[in-house]
Amino acid sequence: MQIKTGIAVSPGVAIGRAFVLGAEDFRIPDGSVSVDAVESEVTRFKTALRNVDEEIKANEALTTQHLGKEYAAIFKAHRQFVNDPKLIEQIETLIREQHQSPEFAASQVLRKFAKELQHLGDKYLAERAADIFDLERSLLRHLLGEKREELSHLTVPVIVLAHNLTPSETAGLNPKYVQAFATEVGGSTSHTAILAGALEIPAIVGVGEFLTDISGGEMIIIDGNNGRLIIGPDQATQEQYQVAQERFRSKHQALQKLGSGQAITTDGTEITVCGNIEFPEEATSCTKHGADGIGLYRTEFLYLGSMRERTEDDHYQAYLKVLKTFPEATVTIRTLDVGADKIPGGMMHLYKDGSNPELGLRSIRVSLACTDLFKTQLRAILRAAVHGNIRVMFPLVSSIAEFRQAKMVYRDVCEDLEDQKIEHNPDIQVGMMVEVPSAAIMAEEFAREVDFFSIGTNDLIQYTLAADRSDPLVSKYYNASDPSVLYLVRRVLFAARDADIPVSVCGQMSSEPMFVPLLLGMGLRELSVTPQAIPVIKELIRSVSIRDCEELATKAYDLDLARDIENFLRGELIRFSPELINE
Ligand code: PEP
Ligand code: MG
């Protein structure tokens, strides 16, 4: 049994079989073959091995021809491994004596060998381990051939283990079959993590290297409450987690009931708790969890996973779907936030030069660079706004000039619709996300121009602390409790209060119970959170008074270390609502 830890990003406990997504998305089928099939399986293995050898030989010849003999030398090492009698014998023995499938046996033996090389302490040999993993992939490709299974073809429940999952891959996960997932990389507020929460799949990210220990089919436990991945759990651990799973389920069910009704503090202040969505279908999950409206609709997900250009009608239909679920409540549509980790297939060509995606052409910058795209979306928003209470906001605004430019395009679109006599609502509120430090610093000036603010703490934290939100290597620097982050959030809340405009926090910070009393104490009265967090957040609000929260905030302002602030907020949360904490 091995226990690994990662970043817990979506709560819950899952116990099931591993589905490993390697670099080539192979799934290694279940381990055993029948006694009668042993000889034919050995033959199948040997044929695959021969084919791999032929393939390497062909590559060697090609490389010699184009680059010269020295470069082709690397293939010699590959061929040595393919023809290594000891390796072949070990794999054959597993097939013959333990009746393991060739895929499973080859994967086990090659990975074990690669790991031994990695741990010999010799740099050259450690690098050869990569050749072994390459070899494993080639062999699996030949063995599995047409049988290669992909994530979209799942027919039984599994736990997905991968180096990384892109946001669009995550969005495509079917919760019916994907019990949970764990990835080697990823950060707490990466879009992959956010989607796991939206899909209500227990998940952990940023576990570090673990795939070399797994072939697929092993028993796995994912503890999404505490960020634990357990490979090959013993009987006692499985039983312990079955109990934890049951406890989580019943507590979760009990909490869901708390979503309905208003969130009013003990001293009578009503707080609006809206939901964040990525797809129109999630609107129903928001109503189920008791959302007072939609505080953030990440519309770019309409584009992800598809090469096809989206039409005005595609947008329009998506917005109408949300309005059908929320005909009266506020629906806040954020215009496209493509770029960074969300690049639609059809836009890949824009990002070929390897520039830093987080600081590059992203969000409103893309919309302003591709005004046709921007106008198409704005037309759909203004048309849909006839049918409900829509407001629009622009993401990643970093200067007043940029906001004005976006507003100008917005006005152009209104005029076009007017000229074309197309029914639309030109009087919707136009706001902005505050998620770049420059915007928070200039909050007072912005407050004179915008109709509302929505604070995107996920990005605000990464840009303030120069720590990539998706990179586990810098996760210790990415800290919502950092006093600099609290300073900027407070600045925006105060600017909104002084200008008397609405302000909400839609970043993950407001989905974290620990931060809610602090945000209320700073003056926040509207939050937008992951749908499944709504009941807990509402119940927490019902257990605090604004006075307590203001006192708590004043104490937090006096602390200058993120660690102290975090410990303080955790302690206060336990004092307010111990029963809301996930075990
Ligand atoms: C944010 O940055 O906090 C935010 C809500 O936007 P996203 O997570 O989509 O970048
Ligand atoms: Mg953002």
Is residue 197 over pLDDT 60?
yes
Q: Which of 274, 286, 414, 506 is labelled catalytic?
A: 506
User: Which ligand 1 atom is nearest residue 508's CA?
Assistant: 3
Q: Which of 191, 289, 315, 424 is labelled catalytic?
A: 191
In a domain, 169, yes or no: yes
How many A from CA of 186 to the centre of ligand 2? 16
Q: Tell me: do 447 and 498 sit in the same domain.
A: yes
Confidence of residue 535 (pLDDT cuts 50, 70, 90): very high
Q: Per-residue pLDDT tens for 234-284?
A: 999 999 999 999 999 998 888 888 889 999 999 999 999 999 999 898 999
Is residue 48 over pLDDT 80?
yes
333, 336, 506: which to mutate for ligand 1, most atoms within 8 A of CB? 506
Confidence of residue 356 (pLDDT cuts 50, 70, 90): low
DSSP symbols for 137-190: HHHHHHHHGGG---GGG--S-EEEEES---HHHHHT--TTTEEEEEESS--TTS
Query: Measured at the alpha carbon of residue 432, what is the angle toward residues 428 and 438, in degrees to the nearest 5?
Result: 160
Say how many domains are in the chain. 3
Which range is least confidently modeled, 339-343, 352-356, 551-555?
Answer: 352-356
User: Which ligand 1 atom is nearest residue 509's CA?
Assistant: 3
**At which of 233, 251, 269 does a domain end?**
251
How many A from CA of 167 to the centre of ligand 1? 13
Q: Tell me: do 102 and 8 sit in the same domain.
A: no
User: Which ligand 1 atom is nearest residue 435's CA?
Assistant: 2
In angstroms, the CA 548 to CA 544 distance is 7
364, 433, 504, 528: which to mutate for ligand 1, most atoms within 8 A of CB? 433
In angstroms, the CA 515 to CA 522 distance is 11
Confidence of residue 206 (pLDDT cuts 50, 70, 90): very high
Confidence of residue 58 (pLDDT cuts 50, 70, 90): confident
How many A from CA of 337 to the centre of ligand 2? 8
Confidence of residue 65 (pLDDT cuts 50, 70, 90): low
Query: Measured at the alpha carbon of residue 404, what is the angle toward residues 402 and 406, in degrees to the nearest 5?
Result: 70
How many A from CA of 515 to the centre of ligand 2? 18
| Residue 506 annotated as catalytic | yes
In a domain, 183, yes or no: yes
How many A from CA of 436 to the centre of ligand 2? 9
Q: What value does the mean pLDDT take over residues 353-379?
A: 88
Where b means 16+ CB within 10 Å and e means fewer, 43-68 reads: ebbeebbebbeebbeeebeebeeeee
| Residue 142 annotated as catalytic | no
Q: Given phi > 0 = left and psi -120 to 50 = alpha, else beta, which region is 321?
A: alpha
User: Domain with 219 in it: what CATH number?
Assistant: 3.50.30.10
**Residues in CB range of 3: below 8 A, 6 or more apart:** 228, 229, 230, 231
Where b means 16+ CB within 10 Å and e means fewer, 470-483 reads: bbbeebeebbbbbb
User: Which ligand 1 atom is nearest residue 506's CA?
Assistant: 5
Identify the nearest ligand to the CA of 509 by its number: 1
Q: Tell me: do 15 and 58 sit in the same domain.
A: no
**What is each CA distance from 339 to 170, 179, 372, 398, 505, in whole angstroms?**
17, 29, 17, 15, 22
Q: What value does the mean pLDDT take over residues 93-101?
A: 92
> What pLDDT does residue 163 have?
86
**What is each CA distance from 425 to 377, 382, 452, 491, in whole angstroms?**
14, 5, 18, 32
> What pLDDT does residue 5 have?
95
> What pLDDT does residue 179 have?
96
Is residue 146 over pLDDT 50?
no
Count the alpha carbons within 13 Å of 245 in the hemisphere toward its beta carbon: 17
Q: Tell me: do 180 and 311 sit in the same domain.
A: no
Q: Which percentage of the chain shows pLDDT scores above 70?
A: 90
Which H helix or E strand runs over 132?
A: helix 123-144
CB 529, CB 492: distance < 8 Å: no
Is the entire prediction scored with pTM above 0.85?
no
Is residue 25 over pLDDT 60?
no
342, 363, 458: which to mutate for ligand 1, most atoms within 8 A of CB? 458
Q: Which residue's CA lies nearest to atom 3 of ligand 1?
A: 456
Count of H-run helices and E-run strands, the chain: 21, 17
Q: Tell me: do 474 and 506 sit in the same domain.
A: yes
User: To the nearest 5 percent, what fractions of the chain are helix, strand and coil?
Assistant: 55, 15, 30
Which range is least confidently modeled, 334-338, 382-386, 469-473, 497-501?
Answer: 469-473
- Helix-helix angle 69-82:38-67, to 10 degrees: 170
Q: Tell me: do 499 and 537 sit in the same domain.
A: yes
Looking at the DSSP bridge assignments, the partners of residue 32 are 100
Q: Tell me: do 8 and 45 sit in the same domain.
A: no
In angstroms, the CA 136 to CA 79 distance is 13
Q: Which residue's CA lies nearest to atom 8 of ligand 1?
A: 458
Q: Tell me: do 232 and 368 sit in the same domain.
A: no
In a domain, 445, yes or no: yes
- Which one of 48-62, 106-120, 191-205, 322-336 scores highest in mean pLDDT? 322-336
How many CB atoms sit inside 10 A of residue 451's CB?
15
**How confident is the prediction for the chain on average, in pLDDT?**
89
Confidence of residue 147 (pLDDT cuts 50, 70, 90): very low
459, 464, 509: which to mutate for ligand 1, most atoms within 8 A of CB? 459
Q: Which residue's CA lies nearest to atom 6 of ligand 1?
A: 456
Scan for tokens 């999630």, then name that residue.
282
User: Which ligand 1 atom is nearest residue 189's CA?
Assistant: 8
Q: What value does the mean pLDDT take over residues 150-170?
A: 80
Q: Given phi > 0 = left and psi -120 to 50 = alpha, else beta, which region is 231?
A: beta
How many A from CA of 189 to the centre of ligand 2? 10
Q: Which residues, judged by CB distance below 6 Å to any ligand atom, belong to the binding site of ligand 1?
A: 296, 298, 337, 435, 456-459, 506-507
Q: Which percentage of the chain shows pLDDT scores above 90?
A: 64
**At which of 74, 109, 144 does a domain end?**
144
Q: Tell me: do 264 and 227 sit in the same domain.
A: no
Q: Tell me: do 175 and 243 sit in the same domain.
A: yes
Looking at the DSSP bridge assignments, the partners of residue 453 are 432, 503
How many A from CA of 456 to the centre of ligand 2? 5
For residue 162, give its domain range: 2-22+156-251
> What pLDDT does residue 66 have?
56
Give Cα 443 to chain centroid, integer Å.
Answer: 29
In a domain, 150, yes or no: no
